[in-house]
Structures are given as C-alpha cells and as structure tokens.
C-alpha cells in the first residue's frame, strides 16, 4: 500500500462581512495539490503582479520601485488588470462560499460570538466540500495520509473572529460529527492520518492570499451585479470548481 504523504494547500480570503449593511459576504479560495504546483503559481503570479504594480504607484514615474508599490487588491484594480490576473488564476482549482446576509437570522448578524461561529461553520463547509470534490475526482486518496495547510488572511481573522476552526475541521474530516438537533450523523471522509496546519498571513506578504482576495472580491462584485449583468455572473461562476451558497 502506498503511504506517501499528500500535501494540500488551501488559501482563503474574504470580501464583505456578515452585516445588515452588506448584501453578501464571500470567501474565495485557491487550492494547490502539492508544493511544486504552489511554487510555480507564486513565481508566475508574482511576475504578472510586478508587471502591473507600477501603474498603481503614487509616484507615476519611471523611478517606480515594485517594493514600494501598494498591494494590488480587487477593489483598487482596473477591470482589464483583474481580467488578466483572473485568466491566469483560473488555471488552478478555485472555490467560493457565498453568504446571503439577507437570509441570515438576526441573532447571528447582531451578535459578535454568533458571527464568529457562523464564519467557522461557513469555512468548515467550504473546506469539507473542497476535499470531497478532490476525493471524488481522484486528485487525492482518502486512504493515504494527508497534510492540509490552510492559509487565511490575517486581517480577516481579526475582523471575523474564528473560534475553533482547526478542531472543527479535524472532527468533520477525520472523525465525523453528529448533529443532535436533527439526529443525523455525518461520516468522516478521510480514512488515514490527517494533519491540519492553520496559518494567518499578511496579505501584502502572501501572493496566495492576494489571489484569494481577488477571487473573493470578484465573485462578490458579480453577485451584487448579477441581475444587471447575468452573463458576467455566469462567466465567473464557471471559473469555480467548487461553490457553496449559504445559509
């Protein structure tokens, strides 16, 4: 039996918050199946970003230094530059969790602890869905050991207040859970050893989190504009290998 370790990278950022002031909160993510794939992505993504950055530098001069340019985020990029980056990003495995705030209970929106628990729940559902898709498509083997590395934007962590994400994921993926309210048991989907590493990164230092930010922001923008531009909405939805709508 092949017991070679499988290392999966899931990189996540958010756009919008759970709030009565916003229609949608979105988590966007990009997934790599090994370190070689991740490193290849970073090299090419960095090259594209460095080619674009100086157009957004306040100096607007030939003396622009990439190291001093602002971080490129979805809300400060021109559409043509978003398209260029998305056209590269879509070669990889992408995901989005779309939360419709208008359908959430008031007690979730109005209570900080409840919002934190709901964010945990949304991320667990998303990550479990990603792993299930990878297993179903034979991209990972649930009977071989898995090292799951999850990178989340540090600022998102401060504002959303995750509570027990790592332990909750381990329980769902490795041990299964029982929902006592509905008398349902959900079986585990990973049958071998599972290690979960959860890191919180500064987006200006992490190209993978920057890419996740662009996915989240682009998806949220098209959700807001869906009624007036359904073709654009359908196009961005096609890029996503796994998507989930909540609640």
- Domain membership of residue 52 (yes or no) is no
- Could you tell me the CATH number of the domain that includes residue 167? 3.30.420
Q: Note whether residue 59 is domain-resident.
A: no
In a domain, 124, yes or no: yes
CB 6 within 8 A of CB 145: yes
- Show the domain range for 11: 6-33+89-201+213-246
Q: 40 lies in a domain?
A: no
Confirm whether 150 is domain-assigned: yes
- Could you tell me which of 153, 148, 233 has the C-alpha nearest to residue 197? 148
Nearest Cα neighbor of 162 from 1, 51, 27 is: 27
Higher-confidence residue of 163 and 242: namely: 242
Residue 211's pLDDT band (cuts 50, 70, 90): very high
Q: What does DSSP say about strands 184-186 and 146-153: parallel, antiparallel, or unpaired?
A: unpaired
Main-chain dihedrals φ then ψ at residue 246, nearest 5 degrees: -125, 155
Q: At 24, which helix (H) or strand (E)?
A: strand 24-32
Separation of alpha carbons 152 and 209, rounded Å: 7
Q: How many CA atoms lie within 13 A of 24 on its CB side?
A: 22
Rounded Cα distance, 33 and 220, in Å: 26
Residue 71 lies in a domain: no
Q: What's the domain count of the chain? A: 1
Q: What CA dihedral angle connects 241, 245, 246 and 247, to 10 degrees? A: -140
> Does 111 reside within a domain?
yes
Q: At what angle do helices 207-224 and 79-89 cross, to 10 degrees?
A: 120
Average pLDDT over the chain, rounded to an integer: 88
Residue 76 parent element (H or E): none
Query: Do the domain assignments include residue 13?
Result: yes
Tokens 């056209």, residue? 87
- Portion of the chain with pLDDT greater than 70, in percent: 89
pLDDT digits (tens, 9 = 90+) for 49-96: 988 887 777 765 555 665 667 777 877 888 899 999 999 999 999 999
- The pTM of this model reads 0.90
């Amino acid at each position: 039996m092949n017991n070679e370790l499988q290392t999966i990278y899931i990189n996540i950022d958010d756009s919008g918050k759970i709030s009565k002031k916003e229609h949608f909160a979105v988590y966007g993510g990009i997934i790599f199946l090994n370190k070689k794939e991740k490193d290849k992505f970073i090299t090419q993504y960095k090259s594209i970003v460095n080619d674009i950055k100086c157009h957004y530098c306040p100096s607007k001069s030939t003396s622009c230094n990439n190291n001093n340019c602002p971080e490129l985020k979805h809300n400060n990029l021109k559409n043509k530059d978003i398209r260029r980056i998305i056209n590269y990003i879509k070669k990889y495995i992408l995901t989005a969790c779309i939360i419709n705030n208008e359908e959430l209970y008031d007690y979730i929106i109005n209570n900080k602890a409840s919002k934190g628990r709901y964010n945990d729940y949304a991320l667990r559902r998303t990550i479990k869905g990603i792993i299930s898709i990878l297993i179903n498509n034979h991209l990972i083997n649930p009977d071989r050991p898995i090292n799951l590395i999850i990178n989340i934007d540090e600022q998102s962590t401060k504002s959303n207040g995750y509570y027990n994400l790592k332990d909750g994921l381990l329980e769902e993926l490795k041990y299964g859970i029982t929902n006592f309210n509905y008398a349902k048991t959900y079986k585990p989907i990973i049958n071998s050893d599972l290690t979960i590493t959860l890191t919180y990164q500064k987006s200006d230092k992490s190209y993978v989190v920057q890419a996740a930010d662009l996915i989240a922001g682009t998806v949220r923008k098209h959700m807001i504009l869906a009624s007036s531009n359904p073709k654009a909405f359908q196009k961005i939805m096609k890029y996503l290998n796994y998507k989930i709508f909540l609640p």
